[in-house]
Amino acid sequence: MKTLVIGANGKIGQHLVRLLAEHPEHTVKAMIRKPEQRVFFEDLQAETVLASLEGSVEELQKAMSDCDAVVFTAGSGASTGADKTLTVDLDGAAKAIEAAELAGIDRFLMVSALRADDRSHWTKEMTPYYIAKYHADRILQSSSLAYTIVRPGLLTDEAGTGQIAAAGHLEPGSVSRQDVAAVIVACLEDTELENKVFELTSGDSSIENALKTI
């Protein structure tokens, strides 16, 4: 399976590209915005492609045309305003989904956010982000793609433990970005997780066992 990682230069994306590049049954293409970002991925011997979520659907379709799956783990980041959240987290995701349909992609995996479907959970300062995630998820669910939507809790940079909790709804909690990346790899390999949505936090079950309960 060849996977395009959108948001490859982000923290989850870098973990994910490393895992896929080292995996004997996967190949990976990292989508980056700037040529200088290539260095990290060249060290992993991972293919790169220059493309932007603020570009055209055709640009994204070309970037993923030789791939079997797409992982969307991009985000505008906390330092940007609501305008970038709209153009990257929402419209960028919508364009990537449209491009994947046009490219005949088999699988599309979205990294969303815990309680993205529950407006009562949205804090005032994070509302634009949750709005983007809520509608991006719905666009994916209404597409023709075989999707998996992962909704992690508060993301940390701690080392992954491989111990998680996964379910349709969980109490708020945190999870390491490294563990999120490992869960994504597991989802790509499991057709039983197609067209499923689940929340993800640290827990006391192995990734394999936790995902069996979804």
Other CB atoms within 10 Å distance of the CB of residue 180? 23
Kind plus residue range of the DSSP H or E element containing 97: helix 91-103
Buried b (16+ CB within 10 A) or exposed e, 117-137: beeeebeeeeebbbbbbbbbb
For the chain, the 3-state helix, strand and coil shares in percent, each to the nearest 5, are 45, 25, 35
> Is 129 one of the catalytic residues?
yes
For residue 195, the Cα-to-chain-centroid distance in whole angstroms is 15
Among residues 129, 130, 134, 147, the one annotated as catalytic is: 129
Short-list 65, 131, 134, 52, CA closest to 95: 52
Residue with tokens 């491989």: 162
What DSSP character marks residue 32? E
Alpha carbon distance 164, 7 (integer Å) = 23
Kind plus residue range of the DSSP H or E element containing 152: strand 146-152
Catalytic (active-site) positions: 129
